[in-house]
Structure 1
Amino acid sequence: MSNLPRIRFIINPVSGTRSKVDVAARIKLYLDHKKLDHDIVYTDYAGHATELAAAAAADNYYAVVAVGGDGTVNEVARSLQYTNTALAILPKGSGNGLARHLQIPLQLNNAIKMLNTGQISQIDSGTINDMPFFTTAGIGFDAYISSVFAGSKSRGLKTYVELIVKEVRNYRHLPVKVWINDKELVTDCFVMAFANAAQYGNNAYIAPLADIRDGLLDICLIRQLDVVKALNLSYCMLTKQLANAQSAEYFKTTQVRVETEQPMMFHADGEYKGKASQFDVKLNPLALKVLIPS
């Protein structure tokens, strides 16, 4: 049996928009087998990656590599929290939010090479109604778009933007009560994003000042949205700027509670999770080890 650090590759065979490359062949070619021992497993159903990652952590693997999109990354990462096994990522999704935030190469060959020389760091995580997230969670319009996007045959940024343009005029803001930093806020809500990382994915920055290691959630509240505000917000998201005060408001906190008069949709890391009338969102400081570029 090898004494080398062990890593497990968990591959979601149906993730993302890219052509079907032979990931196992690339791993054989670009992984440094003198430094790392490895095995490769494939997911068969939703939640399977969580089980495979948990087994690796229990067996003291050095790292588990999520090969897929943000959904696969979330499934793997949730099992690695508060363990000595690090999360690594081979980005193969349509958004790749956490990979982008951690500056992991998006090109597959380079991402594999990074595993040979990467270093361990730690990042925060969050929960929304006890469901883990690592980049963003949210209620309102972004969750609605996540639900529509999940049923779309096409993926990628172009499809996402087309859905937003199509659906934004028909979505209505709703009244909510928010408890944040021990203060109660009664407001309208079009979108409330809870950001651990700065972006949704595709370099769309919903909270440009978010720091994934600062022990704080960055909250972006959009009360109402018209065409002018939508244009300002879109420009700021794509240029990594804070939107003006008329378009969005920002807060920093460790936890948030939201109550709604009628159930609202919510998402975690872009995956639609359903509807609820109460949301408890919490930040877990430095809960996850990650393998990042040196």
Structure 2
Amino acid sequence: MSQRTKVRFIINPTSGTKSRKDVEALIREHLNQDKYAHDIVYTERAGHAPDLAREAANQGVAIVVAVGGDGTVNEVARGLLHTEAALAILPKGSGNGLARHLGIPMGLDGALRVINKANITTIDSGQINGHPFFTTAGIGFDAYISSVFAGNKKRGLQTYVELVMKEVLNYKHLPVIASINGNTLDTDCFVMAFANAAQYGNNAYIAPNADIQDGLLDVCLVRRLDLIKALNLSYCMLTKQLANADSAEYFQTDRVNVQAEEEMMYHADGDYLGKAQTFEVSMVPQSLRVLVP
């Protein structure tokens, strides 16, 4: 019998509703045991998963599986950048942005069948001020919502939409100077989103034309937002359409530099990172191997 391929599951025990026992049982039931030799490790704190993923890659593990939400996926993927190990995802979060973009089933049994097929491709990643992201990063209002959402006990799309509608008219736009494709843009900025993938998660499409393998960022700039524009933008996001030009503008580039008049909040893959005045955002083409259907 040929040697089985090594697979390591990195599980965030705080993600989702299924217990450790349930997830372990699903893995035993649906993973091809003739093809794979697997083990399971659990994260013990925020920031633990990159170390676990890097260790797995260094040990020659072929497939490293992130079991959790967007934050867990980001952490595991960070540990696998520029390695031969491939990322797989068992989605257990509220948004599951990368899994949805890649077409991975939301059910754990279906996601395990993707692993069994072992169809591997390579995707781009991005960086905002040195912090990797795989779906979206952003400055301004979406980062503010990420900071509020992180402290909210209730999760899911409904909670996210409620927060947006509650806060959207109270958040002020700020002046920024952005360098995009050699052009200088002196503009107000309510939000500037940098998309590697098409959506934030929950099928909310901020950049529906984004291609995760083209080496380009799709930049969505919202200068000012009133209630009508907010409703238009929300409708377009949920129907996978580009927003009208008076609500948002789109650019494609491999690098963006932004200087803000005062500190602005920023996020990567929905995780709030803090505040800064200067932002350097860039693409890292073909930097992560992933399993896809």
Q: Alignment length, in residue pairs?
A: 292
- State the match for 1:245 in structure 2: 245
Q: Does 1:236 align with 2:228?
A: no
- State the match for 2:173 in structure 1: 173
1:222-252 CA distances to partner (integer Å, 9 max, x unpaired)? 0000011011111110111001110000000
Large movers: runs of 4+ above 2 Å:
18-21
Amino acid at match of 1:282: S
Amino acid at match of 1:20: S
Q: Secondary structure at the match of 2:197?
A: coil
- State the match for 1:207 in structure 2: 207
- State the match for 2:152 in structure 1: 152
- State the match for 2:55 in structure 1: 55
Q: Secondary structure at the match of 2:49?
A: helix
CA distance in 2, matches of 1:213, 1:286: 7
- State the match for 1:81 in structure 2: 81
Q: Secondary structure at the match of 2:35?
A: coil
The offset of 1:4, in angstroms, is 1.0
- State the match for 1:138 in structure 2: 138
TM-score, structure 2 as length reference: 0.98
Amino acid at match of 1:149: F
Amino acid at match of 2:50: T
- State the match for 1:263 in structure 2: 263
- State the match for 2:72 in structure 1: 72
Name which of structure 1's ranges 191-200 and 7-16 shifts more when overlaid on structure 2: 7-16
CA distance in 2, matches of 1:37, 1:28: 11
Name which of structure 1's ranges 183-192 and 110-119 shifts more when overlaid on structure 2: 110-119
The offset of 1:118, in angstroms, is 3.0
CA distance in 1, matches of 2:164, 2:66: 28
Q: Secondary structure at the match of 2:125?
A: strand
CA distance in 1, matches of 2:260, 2:210: 26
TM-score, structure 1 as length reference: 0.98
- State the match for 2:273 in structure 1: 273
1:38-57 CA distances to partner (integer Å, 9 max, x unpaired)? 10000001111111100000
Q: Secondary structure at the match of 1:200?
A: strand
- State the match for 2:92 in structure 1: 92
CA distance in 2, matches of 1:6, 1:196: 29
Identity of matched residues, %: 67
- State the match for 1:3 in structure 2: 3
1:172-206 CA distances to partner (integer Å, 9 max, x unpaired)? 00000000001110000000000000000000000
Amino acid at match of 2:144: Y
1:59-102 CA distances to partner (integer Å, 9 max, x unpaired)? 11111000000000000001111110000000000000000000
- State the match for 2:116 in structure 1: 116
CA distance in 2, matches of 1:57, 1:51: 10
- State the match for 1:38 in structure 2: 38
Q: Does 1:127 align with 2:127?
A: yes
Could you tell me which runs of 5 or more consecutive residues in structure 2 were left unpaired when the two chains were aligned: none
CA distance in 2, matches of 1:253, 1:165: 30
The offset of 1:19, in angstroms, is 4.4
- State the match for 2:164 in structure 1: 164
Q: Does 1:285 align with 2:263?
A: no
Q: Secondary structure at the match of 1:211?
A: coil
CA distance in 2, matches of 1:12, 1:167: 30
CA distance in 1, matches of 2:282, 2:5: 33
CA distance in 2, matches of 1:163, 1:10: 31
The offset of 1:275, in angstroms, is 0.1
Aligned CA-pair RMSD = 1.1
